[in-house]
Structure 1
Amino acid sequence: MKCLVTGGAGYVGSHVVISLLDAGHEVAVIDNLSTGHLAALPDNIRFFHIDLLDIQAINEIVSGEKWDVVLHFAALSLVGESMSNPFYYLRQNYVTALNLIETCANNGIKRFVFSSTAALFGGKERVSLIPDNAQIEPNSPYGESKFLIERALVWADQICGMRSASLRYFNAAGADPQGRLGEDHTPETHLIPLTIDTALGLRPKLKLFGNDYPTRDGTCIRDYIHVTDLADAHIRVIKQLDHRSVTYNLGNGLGFTNLEVLQSVERISGLKLPWEWAPRRQGDPAVLVADSSHMRRETGWAPRYQTIDVIVETALKWRQDNPDGYKIVPNHYDHRTMGKFVNI
């Protein structure tokens, strides 16, 4: 297939890019490098340094060639930041996606894969796995922006015949098992890399928020899905789009507590890390775990990296090998190339 990937220099996007290449597909990447890393892209890949707010540039790329599928990862993704800057998040995520969706529909693209989120399901307390048809109730502008995009894709299918897959994944974690890629955010907000950095002495004392939740050890339970398993799901779902649009929740189906993550990092690294309890954060539900049975039944997909120790092991190895991350700060990239194809 000939695949166009937006946000392909980001964490999940870059892992999907190398998985597509490993499977023998042709890939081109669009990214504005606001949060992504040029160093996360393979050598000699076709890379377009553009912003999705530039609809003319998008149209030139989409209309210029015949694409078999477009995969959309580019987005702002910090829930807390979206609460501080709600309209910026809504505008940035929705308008950029709408520009891309409209351009794809107008140019006869028939398959579109969208990186959605478990943030659609809000902060409601749940005692069971969350299925695809659970009630949508975003509790942040970030979650709301993703839901608006899902709805736009529904109309793109009904009116324009562009079939789409909305993949609502939970906590992406880990790193490429071959050590080619890892997780490097600025700022970093995810528990596993924060815990690893604390163990390696790259950050000060870690804080665990809340120890009085109704869980097995009093800390929050989250569903961590290995980023390589996520990439596999994105590739598998493309075949579904030959027939219809689909929506799937993606996770391990296994929940791990915050304290279990900390203990796993200590166990795998052999290091003791400094940490302390902190009060609950407002809006943190006790349990968020995906029911991915629909995806498993229809595509044959199943996570290969299921235990928290295996997930942590891949993340730890990449961080030990790359203590400075990708070593390329996005703002250091030559923005005079914005809007152009860049041969890297």
Structure 2
Amino acid sequence: MTKTILVTGGTSYIGSHTVKALLNAGYKVHVLDNISTGNRAAVGSRASFKELDVYDASALKAYLEENQIDAVLHYAGEIVVSESIENPSKYFTANVAGMDQVLKVLSEVGIQKIMFSSTVSLYGNNCIDKPVTEDTLLDPVNPYAETKLMGERMIYWMANRYDWKYVIFRYFNVAGAEMDASNGLRVKNPTHIIPNINKTALGQHDSLKIFGDDYDTRDGSCIRDYIYVLDLA
């Protein structure tokens, strides 16, 4: 029997690539997103889509009760580190209080499988210049990472209580696009380095800003690890 997957935040960069990968693998896919930062066109017409804020508990519960969902892939949330420092309350509201609403609804409707999109930022400075494993000491150094860690712990305890199965991905910076250019990073004002390089090359930016000049590298600039978006999806 074909499994049905719900992807929250499914119009986002990573979410939309995951939706396509699931569809290509033969799953039936539902997408919920308020499109505050995502792009509706990135999902296409093969997935069932509804514009809905998943942190609206009553609306989410009604949707889940109307549709038979086998598992939830949770991508919805706030993700910009610099913004989280300027406005931590926004991140605690979405990524912690919002997560609480989602998990509560899942427990009420009986969905017992969840995947959570977390971040390698949980390791903070402990992942600089050395390999990282799941056992590396966690040390979030900004509100964004802190809220992701809290989300992980919330899932752990809910899974412990309700016998859920869960997977959490702590990945590095994600980059790339579909090889046929059908999808990629579609953000109006991206903070990511690669689209800003492209915009500068196309003359849309006067110059490219690279932050930091005191890293322990040959020229003092930062070196980051990247993962290809389709490998992650």
Whether these two folds match at TM > 0.5 is: yes
Amino acid at match of 1:165: V
Shift of 1:124: 4.5
Amino acid at match of 2:98: T
The 8 Å contact of residues 156 and 163 in structure 1, kept in 2 or not, is answered as no
Question: How many angstroms apart in 2 are the aligned matches of 1:194 and 1:143?
Answer: 23
Aligned position for 2:130: 128
Question: Secondary structure at 1:209's aligned position in 2?
Answer: coil
Check if 1:112 corresponds to 2:107: no
Amino acid at match of 2:73: L
The 8 Å contact of residues 126 and 136 in structure 2, kept in 1 or not, is answered as no
Question: How many angstroms apart in 2 are the aligned matches of 1:93 and 1:164?
Answer: 17
CA RMSD in angstroms, aligned pairs only: 1.4
The 8 Å contact of residues 10 and 35 in structure 1, kept in 2 or not, is answered as yes
Encode CA deviations 1:64-118: one digit per residue, 9 max, x unaligned: 2321210000111111111111112111111222211111122221210000011
Q: Which runs of 5+ in 2 are unaligned?
A: none
The 8 Å contact of residues 19 and 47 in structure 2, kept in 1 or not, is answered as no
* Pick aligned residue for 1:172 from 168, 171, 174: 174
Shift of 1:178: 2.4
The 8 Å contact of residues 32 and 51 in structure 2, kept in 1 or not, is answered as yes
The 8 Å contact of residues 23 and 46 in structure 2, kept in 1 or not, is answered as no
TM-score, structure 1 normalization: 0.65
Question: Secondary structure at 1:221's aligned position in 2?
Answer: coil
Tell which structure's C-alpha radius of gyration is larger: 1
Aligned position for 1:202: 204
Shift of 1:217: 4.1
CA, structure 1 residues 125+158, in 2 after alignment: closer, same or farther (shift >3 Å)? closer
Q: List aligned pairs for 1:263-302, cutoff 5 A.
A: none
- Percent of aligned positions that are identical: 39
Question: How many angstroms apart in 2 are the aligned matches of 1:107 and 1:210?
Answer: 47
Check if 1:145 corresponds to 2:147: yes
Question: How many angstroms apart in 2 are the aligned matches of 1:106 and 1:135?
Answer: 34
Structure 1: 4+ residue segments shifted above 6 A: none
Aligned position for 1:83: 85
Amino acid at match of 1:88: K
* Pick aligned residue for 2:227 from 225, 241, 244: 225
* Pick aligned residue for 1:65 from 67, 72, 77: 67
Greater alpha carbon shift after TM alignment, 156-165 vs 58-67: 58-67
Q: Which runs of 5+ in 1 are unaligned?
A: 232-344
Shift of 1:216: 4.0
Encode CA deviations 1:302-333: one digit per residue, 9 max, x unaligned: xxxxxxxxxxxxxxxxxxxxxxxxxxxxxxxx
Greater alpha carbon shift after TM alignment, 113-122 vs 96-105: 96-105
Greater alpha carbon shift after TM alignment, 77-86 vs 207-216: 207-216
The 8 Å contact of residues 105 and 162 in structure 1, kept in 2 or not, is answered as no
Check if 1:183 corresponds to 2:185: yes
